[in-house]
Structure 1
């Protein structure tokens, strides 16, 4: 099942950038330090359509308590701590993570919020709005137990008090026109319905084959993830077998940075520590320092692949420079926010350092014995789970 199509049909008011976030996420994972050598200066990299896994970085969700606490997609704070020794910060984190107890539970729950900033206009004036969509995933240990996924739009609302004043001056319209670059097809630049309450909720329940939904590293079951080696050399060789088993167009060295996807999957602390140690030793990994993520949580900013030299569209400007970071939990080593897009320059309505797009996980993500209940007020989808 293509969740992009499901969201497009089930959430007709959800803004289009959700698809762009998916494509950027896959581009970041496929990128290497020398990838852009064949691109002309200032030219935007072409983004591929990508597989949408249930827990991939571009799925969307977070609990309402977290969402309602976030009112603006503000400037990304500059790192306040630059760890001595660079990537040694990941090694220190790995040591701490390895001492954490294993988690237990019947279900792996992964709530994810996909948020972003969009330039719109109403009453002849342009301003910015925030959008957020949400997905809650419950994946059972028992492959005969149905997987449940709930998806809904959370809100589209003015980004700041100043943006809200512009919207109110226009009469607080229920729909606003998206600002697009000249020549954008009209169907890709329609109106967005404003709203602060969750809407357009759909859910699916289906029995899987036991393969974990996030297939960025190939087909792995929960048992496969639990059996991953806890030492770096063993993990590297296990990943080599995954690379050899897939239809890969990149070298093993280019494939290895994608091991960062494991930090978003249900692996134990000792395996996670091995992943952190492996990533710390790769030439493509760079620790950026301590920052606040888009939800206001402090974490360690890291890039695992080339993350600068890219451009995106914002409003009428189709060549806004952007950079990316992943933000890790400084205690658990898991991902707080992935593929966080940050404006690397200013343009009309956008200040340098502003978060543009992100995928952020809620703090209750992890193993639970709480069985998922049928969501109230949600429409059951008959589309199969892949």
Structure 2
């Protein structure tokens, strides 16, 4: 049974004032009693430094790609970043998540710690390569006035799985792993596999830095009924196209089909993670997502931090990894999944999976030296991937209101 489709046409208002335990019992939803996810959610993972060093011909944008990736922290060597999926549980997990999100307390600061990763293949052939998870993170405290502090977390890159770690050690455990420049320049970049740690900051945060122009004042005025919330978000203006020759700002409601759903899901992800949204707006965002056509709940899985959650699949397939800095130049197709913890009313992670591995090539604008460039499949981080493999991710290790002030270090 697909719990989202089964309850799609029900009035979600029935769940708004219903206690979480009663709702779970009514729809026969049961959390995994052995997952221990709530205990793990409060455990901090050591953060380590990651640095990319360009070789001749690589552009500075390649260094920023990992920091700007929004894809889906990630597993230590020996853990599978994508996790194992179990058979689905009965019940509408998004309505359960919405009810629990409604009950979350407010605080003086919205505190988030998120880690983004891009998966690179190190090697020369499909028969001889290993995968590396290239990671960077941010930790932010945002006050109700939109002001706050942000720290950048520069982390070490790690082999993606235990088998990748074995191949990395067999290659001599290099501290710097060389990969093609994903920006298409002639040259390479290095992934830093060293066990060093670096935290930069604090950097000031202001209302203008918040996603999609959603200042705390605007967030506080958003409707808490899902259909009204969707109508309000459809008025947000931005450059919503995955790829276009000319940047054009337009409201989401001018889009159709997958483009509209993609834009709405991007904004919804921000409301459920980094944006300092009030609890009832967050609950409405879960309900709005549940009502979108084709959104499906799958089975239980683990996110890149090893926390248990439920897969929510979005009916999107794109020629670009959603949110990736190099997205307009990619050559494969990708799908997106959310991982939700209904019991906590929390979005744990977003992950982008390979649907069709990159093939062919595409011309790029000339580089700074005026020479022509082209992006080829051999330059893609996921050039040796198979359908279903992880391409990128963003995990939200912390996303909660708190009265604790940001550190001054």
* TM-fit CA distance, 1:357: 1.2
Counterpart Cα distance in 1 of 2:122 and 2:156: 15
Structure-2 residue corresponding to 1:307:
316
Contact 1:83/1:289 (CA < 8 Å) preserved in 2? no
Structure-2 residue corresponding to 1:268:
278
The yes-or-no answer on 1:78 pairing with 2:115 is: no
RMSD of aligned alpha carbons:
3.9
Counterpart Cα distance in 2 of 1:158 and 1:259: 31
- For the residue of structure 2 that corresponds to 1:279, the secondary structure is helix
Contact 2:144/2:276 (CA < 8 Å) preserved in 1? no
Counterpart Cα distance in 2 of 1:22 and 1:171: 30
Q: 1:170 to 1:214 in 2, by over 3 A?
A: same
Structure-1 residue corresponding to 2:20:
none
Q: 1:259 to 1:327 in 2, by over 3 A?
A: same
Counterpart Cα distance in 1 of 2:227 and 2:162: 52
Structure-1 residue corresponding to 2:46:
none
Contact 1:73/1:355 (CA < 8 Å) preserved in 2? no
Instruction: After the TM superposition, list the runs of 4 or more consecutive aligned residues in structure 1 that deviate by more than 6 angstroms.
Output: 345-348
Structure 2, gaps ≥5 residues long: 1-49, 55-60, 239-247, 325-329, 358-381
Structure 1, gaps ≥5 residues long: 1-9, 24-56, 376-386
Over residues 72-111 of structure 1, what are the superposed CA-to-partner deviations in whole Å (9 max), with x where a residue is unaligned? 4444423521546xxx44234323433x14222x222111
* TM-fit CA distance, 1:16: 4.1
- For the residue of structure 2 that corresponds to 1:129, the secondary structure is strand
Counterpart Cα distance in 1 of 2:154 and 2:104: 35
Contact 2:235/2:251 (CA < 8 Å) preserved in 1? no
TM-score, with structure 1 as normaliser: 0.65
Over residues 207-263 of structure 1, what are the superposed CA-to-partner deviations in whole Å (9 max), with x where a residue is unaligned? 62x346112xxx22213222322223442443355459x941543562544441322
Q: 1:223 to 1:319 in 2, by over 3 A?
A: closer
Counterpart Cα distance in 1 of 2:64 and 2:288: 31
Structure-1 residue corresponding to 2:189:
190
The yes-or-no answer on 1:103 pairing with 2:106 is: yes
Structure-2 residue corresponding to 1:214:
211
* TM-fit CA distance, 1:18: 6.4
Counterpart Cα distance in 1 of 2:62 and 2:293: 34
- For the residue of structure 1 that corresponds to 2:287, the secondary structure is helix
Contact 1:97/1:331 (CA < 8 Å) preserved in 2? no
Structure-2 residue corresponding to 1:374:
408
